Amino acid sequence: MNSSCNYRIRKAGFAIRYTFNEFVNRYHVIMKDLKLPRDSPQEMAEAFAKAFLNDVEWTIGHRMIFLKVNRSFSMANLHVVMAGSRL
């Protein structure tokens, strides 16, 4: 990602970025029970974001998904709760 693209994304409030594989690996516990497309990590990340996030809280690029900071923290809390309930 070049610096001007990076600047625009951060300025828009999307400070958290994951590659599609990182996103799927991080939130796979939440995704496990959902009927998401399993063809590619990009499709899984996009379907998950459409199901759980408001349109203004995320955006998708060619190689990454971008989240606003407040949404990343609330998803991390949900991730911890769901991981604990599986133990």
DSSP 29-53: HHHTTS----S-HHHHHHHHHHHHS
Q: Is the separation of the CB atoms in 65 and 45 below 8 Å?
A: yes
Chosen CATH of 3-85 out of 3.30.70.1590, 1.20.1260.10, 3.60.20.10, 3.40.190.10? 3.30.70.1590
- pLDDT on residue 72: 54
Closest CA to 68 of 20, 9, 22: 9
- Name the pTM for this structure: 0.70
Q: What angle do CA 26, 1, 24 make, to 5 degrees?
A: 15
57-74 pLDDT per residue, tens: 899 988 999 988 765 555
β-strands 16-19, 58-60 pairing: unpaired
d(CA 51, CA 62): 20
- Structure confidence at residue 87 (pLDDT): 44
Please give the pLDDT value at position 64: 93
pLDDT at res. 71: 54
